[in-house]
Every structure is written in structure tokens, then in C-alpha cells.
Amino acid sequence: MSVISRVALLGRAGLDTVSALGRSGIFLSNALLGRTRFGNSFALLLKQLYSVGVLSLAITIVSGLFIGMVLALQGYNILVGYGSEQAVGQMVALTMLRELGPVVAALLFAGRAGSALTAEIGLMKATEQLSSMEMIGVDPLKYVIAPRLWAGFISLPLLTMIFCVVGIWGGSLVAVDWLGVYSGSYWSNMQNSVEFVDDVLNGMVKAVVFAFVVTWIAVFQGYDCEPTSEGISRATTRTVVYASLAVLGLDFILTALMF
């Protein structure tokens, strides 16, 4: 292959990336800003909240519990060397609220709900359900895409908060009930060091940003996929990979801006 055609290949890849970004932006604004009549859309949103949010609850709670427990165990083993094992509550709470809560919940959400969204919408496209909707004059952006986007935006922040609470409770389970840290100092150290606005709300801002990005990527990949079985499988993989990378990269930027 000559040098010129390699450069052309690079150029085509660049153009493809830019046009995919542009299409996803137009797609998002059409789905969110398109006119919606209230009434029917609420029932659609409810159904999606169930499949995106409620069904992700189990994995979120179980992982939150174990992550909190492991943090408390590791933190205790390190802190006990300095004789300050009471600080384990503070460590668990700050780690959960600032970093692990939003990030791990978003990664789990991308794997559990994001891939399902992509596969579902991709299959709808492959079986020409989306084009038949357009044929009968129903806007698929409004009836298929918009409820899923909103369900994702609403679910992930809620899941993140539940994740943090369960994790901190799991930490107290290990530190207080098992390792024997005094429960008064576990909670009071935590309350002294955790600030509502700086820690809790900033963590929630992260969760909202991640919810936006992960759901956007998942739904767009499904909508934009090649309507074949390989196309759907590739789109599902891309959803998980892109969403995870976006979450981790954005987390660094948000942390640098916030803390």
C-alpha cells in the first residue's frame, strides 16, 4: 500500500469519526428537544425506568456492599499500623462518595443497562421495526429513543446514591461489627470530614454527567448500528468499551475541576 493511500485511509477514519460525532449530537438534540405530548410518554418512560433502573438495582446493591466491605478491610489493615483505625469510616465514606460510587456505578450501569439498550435498539433496527414505525407516521426518536434516554438520566444518579449508602453501610458492617472499631468514632469521624456540598453533591454531579454520557453512547450505538447480527454485536461491544473509557476519562477531568 502506498503512502498516499495510507494518508487517505487516515483521512477517511477522521471524517468517519467526526461525522459519527455530528450524527450523535443531532440525534441527541432531536430525541430530547423534539415535541412530546404528555400522557402516553409517561407510561413509556415508566416501562424504561423499570427495565433500566429497577432491574439494575440488584447488581448495584451487591457490588456496593462488597466494595464497601473490601474498602473497610483494606483501610483498617493499613490504618491500624498508625493506630488511627477510627479514621476508617472517613476513608470509606470519602472514597465511596468522591470516586468509587459514581465511577463503579456508571461502569456497572454501562455493562448491565447500556449493553441491553444497544442490543434492543439494534435489533429493532435490524428487524426493521424502526423503519415500520416511520412508515406509519410514528417518530421512533420520540417513542423508542427519548424514553430510554430519560430513563438512563434518571436511573443512574439514583443508583449511585443507593450504591454509596449500601457501600458505607457495608464498610460499617466490617469495621464496626467484625473488626471492632467503635461505632461512635466510625460515624462521627465520617460526619466531621464529609461535607454535604463538597463531597456528596460533587459526587452526584459526577453521577449525572456519567448518566448522560453512558446513556447517550448506549442509545446512539444501538440506533446507528449496522442492521446485521455482527453489527449488533459490534455495537454492543463498542457501547461497553466507549462508555467505560468515557467514564474513566471524564472522572479524571471532573476530579481535577472539583477537588
Residues of this chain that interact with other proteins (CB under 8 A) are 43, 46-47, 49-50, 53-54, 57, 82, 84, 93, 97, 154-155, 157-159, 161-162, 164-165, 168, 187, 190-192, 194-196, 199-200, 204
Q: How far is the CB of 102 from other proteins (least distance, A)?
A: 12
CB-nearer residue toward other proteins: 122 or 171 = 171
DSSP state of 137: T
CB-nearer residue toward other proteins: 39 or 137 = 39
CB-nearer residue toward other proteins: 12 or 47 = 47
CB-nearer residue toward other proteins: 158 or 258 = 158
∠ CA 246-252-257, rounded to 5°: 120
Q: How far is the CB of 14 from other proteins (least distance, A)?
A: 41
Q: How far is the CB of 206 from other proteins (least distance, A)?
A: 14
CB-nearer residue toward other proteins: 38 or 196 = 196
Shortest CA distance to 111 belongs to which of 68, 165, 52? 52
CB-nearer residue toward other proteins: 214 or 232 = 214
Q: How far is the CB of 168 from other proteins (least distance, A)?
A: 6
CA–CA separation, 59 and 64 (whole Å): 8
Shortest CA distance to 218 belongs to which of 7, 31, 59? 31
Q: How far is the CB of 182 from other proteins (least distance, A)?
A: 15
Shortest CA distance to 221 belongs to which of 14, 48, 28? 28
Shortest CA distance to 52 belongs to which of 231, 242, 218? 218
Contact assessment for residue 91 and residue 174, using Cβ atoms and an 8 Å cutoff? no
CA–CA separation, 71 and 100 (whole Å): 10
CB-nearer residue toward other proteins: 214 or 225 = 214
Residue with cell 423503519: 131
Helix (H, G, I), strand (E, B) or coil at 35: coil
CA–CA separation, 140 and 158 (whole Å): 27
CA–CA separation, 236 and 79 (whole Å): 42
Contact assessment for residue 188 and residue 225, using Cβ atoms and an 8 Å cutoff? no
Q: How far is the CB of 127 from other proteins (least distance, A)?
A: 24
Q: How far is the CB of 162 from other proteins (least distance, A)?
A: 5
Residues 6+ away with beta carbon under 8 Å from 42: none
